[in-house]
Structure 1
Amino acid sequence: MHDLKYIRENPADFDAALARRGDDPVSARILELDERRRALQTEVQMGQARRNEASKAIGKAKGQGDEETAQALMAEVAELKQKLPTLEEEERQVGEELKNALAVIPNLPAADVPAGADESDNLEVATWGQPRDFDFAPQEHADIGPALGMDFETGVRMSGARFTFLRGQMARLHRALGQFMLDHQTGNHGYVECNPPVLVQDEAMYGTDKLPKFAEDSFRTTDDLWLIPTAEVSLSSSVMGEIVEEAALPMRLTALTLCFRSEAGSAGRDTRGFIRQHQFEKCELVSITKPEDSDAEHERMAAAAESVLQALELPYRKMLLCTGDMGFGARKTYDLEVWLPGQGSYREISSISNTGDFQARRMNARFRPDGEAKGTQFVHTLNGSGLAVGRTLVAVIENYQQADGSVTIPDILQPYMGGVTTLEPQN
């Protein structure tokens, strides 16, 4: 959500920032609604004040025997009582229209975000690791995975497209990755482990900018709860409507949860394999900070996510997303893209975003600066994957595959695998 005061004082700058994202100017429409709402508020307040004043004057006029004045005042009060509900409803409707108009405007990009139309304009800022030199033609995970326990057919048979049934040591490797990520982020980077709900109400989805614009991308239950598309929703919403003390910041939270996405906007993409599923697990990182600390926290969070790939010895590159490729709620985003030798390309495995106070305004999440009894400020929220477990599983399979179809377990994961060092084909 955007600061109305900023839009009033800087309409041209606001529209120019939106133009960097390829969006049309909206300040004139927002300010028109804002002016109408404020005019109606003033009219309602004046009408209420006059009604109260006239009501008191009726008794005084009657006490003085001035029946003519009393009758006139009574008529005025009756008219105001009839008129005010209409004005109040109009004020409510205009206020709701203003709120809805603001709710679909994306966040403004940070000044150092490169201009661009799409992913081809993203900026590579770093690479790590050297892709392995295979002495055989590496295969995609979808080709070698079934013999190792990645059962696509059963998943589709019971649940439809974009569902997979993991079996045996493949399932254990998946579990090992998630447990390692949690241990790594809590033990090495100071994140507090959480176990949040995966079903949330509208307010949590709205506050984390998933509603109203992206409702079709998520699953909704018959009793109007939402299956979270990411634990960002649950973790960030833990401060929804709260005022936290400055001393409690930064809050660094992590959770390994199931996530659910309809992939409505990705029809036809990655239909083969384990890359894009309706149900998946992700180790999520969320930070709640003071405004002046969020830029540094963004770099810290990116480094925390990168360290997982480094520990697994998976080559990757770090991309700074351009204005045209950033998510709706982000002011700045880094994507980590892991090397997949079977595909011969880098693929996104983590997206780390600083949303500034965009989500905090929607959630009404604030902090009280030290020494101030009454004043509050909006927090800044950040989120990132540390990492997406399924995509990391894919990266391990493809990067650690052997010529005979087996997969070597990365050293860091072997303690989580009960001594298993290799996934062996079963057929």
Structure 2
Amino acid sequence: MHDIRFIRENPAAFDAALARRGLAPMSAELLDMDEGRRIEIRAAETAAAEQNTASKAAGVAKASGDEAEFNRLRDLVTLRKNDAIKLTDNANKLDAMLRDALMRIPNMALDEVPEGPDETANVEIRRWGTPREMAFKPLEHFDIPAARGLDFATAAKLSGSRFVVLRGAVARVHRALAQFMLDLHTGEHGLAETWTPVLVKEEAMYGTNQLPKFAEDSYQTTNGWWLIPTSEVTLTNSVAGEILDEAALPLRLTAHTHCFRSEAGSAGKDTTGMLRQHQFEKVEMVTICTPETALAEHERMTGCAEAVLQRLGLPYRTIVLCTGDMGFGAQKTHDLEVWLPGQNTFREISSVSTCGQFQARRMNARYRPAGGKPEFVATLNGSGLAVGRCLIAVLENGQEADGSVTLPSALVPYLGGKGRITAEGQLA
């Protein structure tokens, strides 16, 4: 959420930042709401002060036996009390309107983020690995004989489209991928493993900017809980409402959870296979740090995600998203796109974002600098990685002409020493 004080002091800069996001100016409308709220607050304070003065004077009149003056002042106390209540109510309504408006405005991009309307303006900053040359036409993951454990028909019978049932070897490899990612992040990258709920209160979804603007992208239960779209929600909100010691920062967290997305607006996109699902698994990374260290942490977190792909031997490219393609809460985002030979293209497998103090302001998450007043923390989040998409990449990049799949050596210890899925769908 944006700081209204910044907008008061820098309306032109705020509107210029919105323009980079392709949005119309909003400062005038926001400042009108803000001024209206402040006028009501000042009027309420004046009414309350007059009520207090009249109440004291009424006491003096009562003590002196001046009944007429007492009655006049008593009526004035009641009038000013009612005025203060009404004005405070008006101020609260305007405050709620202003807060809602501020919550619907995306974060301001950092100056270094490339400007552009959509993904065509994203900038590739590096590549790793060379796509393997195959002497046969590579298949997409769902057509590879070894991946016969991908059961979309049963999933459709159980739940409808955009679901999958995993059986046998592919289920085992899927589980191994998640375990491998967690072990790498906790053992070598210094992230603290965390297990969190997948059902959260509404305020948690507000804290990480899924609400109010993107309600249709998530699922809500009949009793008000929300299913998390990623454990960014739970890991980041774990510090909501707290004041942390600066010495405790940075907090670097990771969690493996089920994730749920309605995929609103994605009709017709990736309708075959398991690239875009309503239910999937992810190993998420979250960092809570000081604002001054956020950019360095962003590079570090990107490196953690890249290390997963490198250990698995999966070619990828790293791109910085432009202002028009960046997520709502981000100041800057790196996307990792893994090579999928079956599609003959790179596809997103991780998105790593620094959000500055945008989410912290929504959550009221602060830290206390040594000898200073509390300030909002900075938050970062990133996939490390999306497990299902990583399975797709492993299957497609490891496929052989005979229909089998050669698995990355990094997974062999998690698969009982086996490093291949046969064309019959068995680990070998």
Q: Tell me, yes or no, whether TM beats 0.5.
A: yes
Contact 1:148–1:424 under 8 Å retained in 2:
no
Map Cα deviations across residues 133-162 of structure 1 (whole Å, 9 max, x no partner).
001110001211675311111111111000
Q: Which runs of 5+ in 1 are unaligned?
A: none
Shift of residue 113 of structure 1?
A: 0.2
Contact 1:198–1:257 under 8 Å retained in 2:
yes
**Cross-structure match for 1:404:** 402
**Cross-structure match for 1:150:** 150
Aligned length: 425
Contact 2:284–2:382 under 8 Å retained in 1:
yes
- Quick one: which of 386, 392, 395 aligns to 1:394? 392
Stretch moving more, 65-74 or 221-230 = 65-74
1:78 and 1:409 map into 2 onto residues whose CA distance is 79
**Cross-structure match for 1:278:** 278
Shift of residue 338 of structure 1?
A: 0.3
Map Cα deviations across residues 100-133 of structure 1 (whole Å, 9 max, x no partner).
1101000000010000010011000000000000
**Cross-structure match for 1:182:** 182
**Cross-structure match for 2:31:** 31
Structure 2 counterpart of 1:241, one-letter code: G
Shift of residue 183 of structure 1?
A: 0.2
Structure 1 counterpart of 2:375, one-letter code: Q
Stretch moving more, 88-97 or 145-154 = 145-154
Contact 1:117–1:324 under 8 Å retained in 2:
yes
- Structure-2 change in CA distance of 1:58 and 1:146 (3 Å): farther
Shift of residue 371 of structure 1?
A: 2.8
2:78 and 2:175 map into 1 onto residues whose CA distance is 70
Stretch moving more, 58-67 or 273-282 = 58-67
Matched, 1:421 2:419: yes
Shift of residue 424 of structure 1?
A: 1.6
Alignment RMSD (CA, Å): 1.1
1:298 and 1:184 map into 2 onto residues whose CA distance is 18
Contact 1:191–1:253 under 8 Å retained in 2:
yes
Matched, 1:57 2:87: no
- Structure-2 change in CA distance of 1:181 and 1:147 (3 Å): closer
Partner of 1:97, secondary structure, is helix
**Cross-structure match for 1:358:** 358
**Cross-structure match for 2:131:** 131
TM-score scaled to structure 1, two decimals?
Answer: 0.98
- Structure-2 change in CA distance of 1:208 and 1:172 (3 Å): same
2:39 and 2:413 map into 1 onto residues whose CA distance is 67
Shift of residue 80 of structure 1?
A: 1.7
Contact 2:196–2:255 under 8 Å retained in 1:
yes
**Cross-structure match for 2:141:** 141
2:175 and 2:45 map into 1 onto residues whose CA distance is 60
Contact 1:401–1:407 under 8 Å retained in 2:
yes
Structure 2 counterpart of 1:103, one-letter code: M
Seq. identity, %: 58
2:271 and 2:155 map into 1 onto residues whose CA distance is 13
Structure 2 counterpart of 1:48, one-letter code: A
Partner of 2:31, secondary structure, is helix
Contact 1:263–1:278 under 8 Å retained in 2:
yes
Shift of residue 90 of structure 1?
A: 1.0
Contact 2:45–2:84 under 8 Å retained in 1:
no
2:351 and 2:265 map into 1 onto residues whose CA distance is 17
Contact 2:335–2:352 under 8 Å retained in 1:
yes
Matched, 1:167 2:171: no
Shift of residue 71 of structure 1?
A: 2.1
Equivalent positions of 1:24-423 (< 5 A) are 24-144=24-144, 147-372=147-372, 375-423=373-421
1:53 and 1:79 map into 2 onto residues whose CA distance is 13
Contact 2:249–2:288 under 8 Å retained in 1:
yes
TM-score scaled to structure 2, two decimals?
Answer: 0.98
